[in-house]
Amino acid sequence: MKAILEQLLANPGTRDIGPLRALVRTLRPIRSGEVTQATVHLYALIQLLSARPQLAAVLRNYLAEVIGSRKLVHLCTDTGILESAGFFGELWKRFNHRWLPPTVNDDYVKDVFSLVFDHSDDWQWVCSIDDEVWESLLLVLGFEWRESLELHDRVMRELLEAVQVLSYRITAIGLEPELVRNYPDIERFESPFMRQNAEVVDFVERYQCWLQERGKGRDDARHIEVLLGQCEEVVVKIRRQAAQSGVSVSLTRLLLRLTQSIDRLRILLTLLDPVSIAAARKSGIALFKMLVYADNLKWSLSELFQTNTELLALQVTERASRSGEHYVTRDAAEWKEMFRSASGAGFIVGFMAMIKVLLSKLVLAPFGYALFYSLNYSFGFMFVHVLHFTIATKQPAMTAASIAATIDAGRQCLHELAELVICVFRSQFIAIVGNVLVVMPTAFVAAWCWSSLSGRPLADPDKALHLLHDLDPFHSLALFHAAIAGVCLFLSGLISGYYDNKAAYNEIPARLRQLAWLRRLIGEARLARITAYIGDNLGALAGNFFFGVMLGSIGTLGFIFGLPIDIRHITFSSANFIFALMGMNYLLTPEQWILSLLGIALIGALNLMVSFTLALAVALRSRRVSFRQGGTLIGLVLKRFWYMPRDFFLPPPALEDQGST
């Protein structure tokens, strides 16, 4: 550290960034995330500069030369702000960067900045060091902002240019047709996006005149701040409207780019027109940390997906959470209705399972099996939905989103949230009971009818042994395949939310009603009913269809690619156990009974646990919620289970009595 500064002392006026990169290397901790070590290094630099003011002056002049001799605008207006390219264009650009990085222009501070903080985890230690420590470094260097003539005029003009660029971008985004479509009032009233630009132009002109003649007065930026606040109010209204009319990735990008530009413009205005020198230093440090973070992650694929799909993921999970409210039973009447609904689904699944076994007897190519299995699952699940029945394992993806929405809203304390979790558990338990208790006798009757009519069992002994092996939790991959089914359940929940959003955003019901040929074909009244049903149920139908495709094709894909993948679903596994029992002429060993029933229970547990965990994680992430009290919540739930286990399976007695009167 001392050698680097003495080298600068011996070579004053240099703009080479080599010494700066070397200095940052001495500050960087040996291991990523060791904030304490980075803080110690920075304190060591501060003490060295305090002890030797000559070195502090040299470093200040060197930084002024490095920054002042290069173009600063692009760092302030581009780094940390989404580009105007589309999502897939940006994705392809980041893929290309992996093997062909872009050229570096030494005349831009933006490119130099990337070379100085060239480790992808530099943001961790830079952002973790307290602002007071960075402020101490600025003080010991002697950067008093306006009093620092080395930086002032050049940097001020660069910042003014950056302010203008950001203001023009905010105006252009505010007039985008997609924003106008979601908030038509922008056209009916004077747009704050255009007014802020007019104010910014006047502010920049007055500021430039003030830089030339310091005796002249100039206005502050408070009026611009008011207009930026109005712009943010429009963004909030558009997001609120998107909850009803749907959202797209392109709208998400526009809103995110608009928000980032407004935030950046605010920081630059604070630097240009600070309330105090201390406020300018704080804003400068905040901007510095923001730039390091954004620059380190500018080629990150995960960051791209997170920022570009945040609003879309929120809308998908928000719609799932609204559906999830219907899957939570809070009293005896709802509990009994859930049992009835699940029983109806169990009846249909019993026949679906029989059809699946019959299809397996056909001699088909692998694609043929995948096609017919998928059609059987898909149309069966869609039929279940049309009849308003409930597949138990479809609940977790919906109820998890509902819990996440509750946590995000902060409407409930932990005890009330624990009560919600118990209600969810109770609802899913009775749904599973309804599915399994009905699917088993249905499968038995269906298999008996088939044997009576055809003269041979639905599942011969070889097929029966194969079905029993598929249920064995210890000697087969049943649990792994159950986890795969849980992932499919989670994905189907996302698909349902996506298509619900798509139906609203693309106004599919209204567009269908505009088709003259369809109106002539089925009539005005019938068309209105059908399109209304599509608008309300497109997501559920699509989710069930694609869930069926996943269940029907994963095993075939595993066979084609030689992968040990398949699915195990509790309701179908229960039916398959009955088929195997009848195929073995009811002669099962005690070990087969125990392993099969245990396998069914564990398959159901994994179906629910995997889909619920994934759905809850995505729902919380889409809301940027970190639930730090999760351990306390789990403790409350376990305590309740220890003292009142009945509440996890049956409705409370008072509610039960009330429901029966």
Contact 141, 60 (CB under 8 A): yes
DSSP symbol at 394: G
Question: Using N-to-C axis directions, what is the helix angle for 277-296 and 131-141, rounded to 10°?
Answer: 120
Which of 9-23, 65-79, 89-103 shows the highest mean pLDDT? 65-79
The predicted pLDDT at position 12 comes to 77
Residue 351 lies in a domain: yes
pLDDT band at 289 (very low <50, low <70, confident <90, very high): very high
Residue of 63, 49, 58, 57 whose CA lies nearest to 15 = 63
Summarised one tens digit per residue, pLDDT across range 570-581 is 999 999 999 999
Residues 6+ apart with CB under 8 A from 552: 370, 371, 372, 373, 374, 375, 376, 377, 378
Residue of 475, 436, 433, 478 whose CA lies nearest to 568 = 478
Contact 344, 389 (CB under 8 A): yes
Helix residue ranges, H only, 175-221: 177-182, 185-188, 192-212
pLDDT above 90 (res 177) = no
Give the three-state DSSP class for 274: coil
The predicted pLDDT at position 617 comes to 72
Residue of 660, 612, 196 whose CA lies nearest to 425 = 612
Structure tokens at 183: 């908030």
Residue 150 lies in a domain: no
Q: Comparing 76-85, 246-255, 505-514, which segment has the lowest mean pLDDT?
A: 246-255
Residue 289 lies in a domain: no
Q: Comparing 74-78, 291-295, 421-425, 461-465, which segment has the lowest mean pLDDT?
A: 421-425
Q: In percent, how much of the chain has pLDDT > 70?
A: 86
Summarised one tens digit per residue, pLDDT across range 371-400 is 999 999 999 999 999 998 988 776 555 565
> Mean of the pLDDT values across residues 84-110?
79
How many Cα atoms sit within 13 Å of 305 on the Cβ side? 5
Summarised one tens digit per residue, pLDDT across range 466-524 is 999 999 999 999 999 999 999 998 888 878 878 888 888 888 999 999 999 988 998 88
What DSSP assignment string belongs to 60-105?
Answer: HHHHHHHHHTSB-HHHHHTTTS--SS-HHHHHHHHHHHHHSPPP--
Summarised one tens digit per residue, pLDDT across range 598-607 is 999 999 999 8
Residue 339 lies in a domain: yes
pLDDT above 60 (res 412) = no
The predicted pLDDT at position 636 comes to 78
Average pLDDT, the chain: 84
Residue of 468, 490, 470, 492 whose CA lies nearest to 607 = 490
Q: Comparing 94-108, 134-148, 408-422, 517-531, which segment has the lowest mean pLDDT?
A: 408-422
- Domain span at residue 339 reads 315-660
Task: Tell me the sheet residues that pair with 71.
Answer: 108
Residue 280 lies in a domain: no
The predicted pLDDT at position 145 comes to 44
pLDDT above 90 (res 550) = yes
What are phi and psi for residue 283, nearest 5 degrees? -65, -40
Residue 259 lies in a domain: no
Summarised one tens digit per residue, pLDDT across range 271-282 is 888 877 788 888
* Max CA pair span of the chain: 107
The predicted pLDDT at position 411 comes to 47
Residue 426 lies in a domain: yes
pLDDT band at 659 (very low <50, low <70, confident <90, very high): very low
Residue of 494, 509, 505, 496 whose CA lies nearest to 543 = 496
Question: Any idea which residue has 């005890």 for tokens?
Answer: 415
pLDDT band at 655 (very low <50, low <70, confident <90, very high): very low
Residue of 102, 127, 128 whose CA lies nearest to 115 = 102
The tally of domains found in the chain comes to 1
Which of 118-132, 247-261, 320-334, 415-429 shows the highest mean pLDDT? 118-132
> Mean of the pLDDT values across residues 200-228?
84
Residue 301 lies in a domain: no
How many Cα atoms sit within 13 Å of 84 on the Cβ side? 7
Residue of 509, 500, 512 whose CA lies nearest to 538 = 500
Contact 281, 172 (CB under 8 A): no
The predicted pLDDT at position 286 comes to 92
